[in-house]
Amino acid sequence: MSSANSVPGSTLRRGLSSRSGGHRRLCGCVNCIMPPYILKRLLESSDREIRKAALDTLLSTAQLRGERSVRTAFAAASGPANGRRTIFDCHHTSNLPSARLARSEDGAASSDKSVNAAFDGLGKTRDFYRQVLDRNSLDGRGMRLDGYVHYGVRFNNAFFDGQEMVFGDGDGILFGDFTGSLDVIAHELTHGVTQFTAGLEYHGQSGALNESISDVFGSLVKQWSLDQTAEEADWLIGADIFTPGMKGDALRSMKAPGTAFDNDRIGKDPQPDTMSNYVQLPDDDDNGGVHINSGIPNKAFYLTATAIGGVAWEAPGHIWYEALGAATATTEFQEFADLTYGKAGQLYGTGSHEQHAVQHAWREVGIRVSGMVAGRTGRRGRSATDGREADTLAALSKQMDALSSQVRALQTEVSGLRRSSRSAA
């Protein structure tokens, strides 16, 4: 997810920004999994090979910015293909047109592990969106899924450029093959889903929300694939791309933002988990902190999912997905919190356990859902009636919390029965 700054070809992007054909504005960035602050830290390494790999990765990412707008045009014009997968081998070049076909939807498995891992990752992500969210590929119309493996030399990144998914092999010292992480693949492809729905602008809070949405569904695809409950999941993003010798849990932790890594080579995870620690950065620094401040909505989703209980791709995933569909290019944290609260009410009922969980989750990260702000009388004090109403609301809140605990226990039991049934089958 290392970000790109503004992309050349803004006139072309403006021409593609209309919502004709059922599509919203397309994002104008190369969305990469590797945060730029990690790559910049690696430029300071005492290891020459690590420095060179980091520099090559940053330069290649910058080069891609100039190509992105052209690829987006082809993506918008491509016909439906029912999510058909094709994997190409770049043979360690950075020239995508020269890549060779390695595996197609109807072809046999490859002898290349990376080819098969990319093929399977694209398929699991496609199947998740189709089976769980009833979405036909990234654009909702069957967009084909093309993947390119062995991109560049020691390329420490993976990215979705608006049309295709590209994987580096890593430097082999700190990072390994980027096809080996399902949540990374699903994260990047979800940028495509966001591109064809809300089109969240890639800077500031809307950009951080863009990154968070990709983390949410990247994690959900992995959880769905492993049939894990919210309690069983690790809620880590990119744990599988670190080499065995690298001390570091993952690129990000949705459960505990700011704790994913802490070592001499890549520094300390800078993500905040509440609005009180929101990091203000200019647009030329990680596009205003899109990879940093995404920790706040990430934590809100984790809290929502664990409060609701059971499997997170059901109620929590549907709430977030519906909120994404209702968002716009400039939606920020507060508006998205309001949208998730409203969608929870629409899907599961006003005052439901699910809506209550959403409200509490956002409050925990420092965002008060606007729909829950009580009407103001303009008086400084409060009457006895106000006090009785407050006491009644507090009692009701305790009752709802108790009911929530009972529902979570029941959902965990049902999930266990479901897994036992699958195992028996």
Task: Report the catalytic residues.
Answer: 188, 291
Dihedrals phi, psi of 104, to nearest 5 degrees: -120, 170
With 0-12 / 13-18 / 19 or more C-beta atoms within 10 angstroms meaning exposed / middle / buried, residue 406 is exposed
Report CA-CA distances (Å) from 72 to 64, 164, 225, 362: 12, 10, 29, 34
∠ CA(360), CA(364), CA(368), 5° rounding? 70
DSSP state of 81: -
Question: CA 285 → CA 37, 190, 288, distances in Å?
Answer: 9, 23, 6
Task: Say if CB 227 and CB 176 are below 8 A apart.
Answer: no
Angle at the Cα of 285 (from 280 to 290), degrees rounded to 5? 65
Q: Which residues pair with 242 in a beta bridge?
A: 175
Alpha-carbon span 292 to 420, nearest angstrom: 39
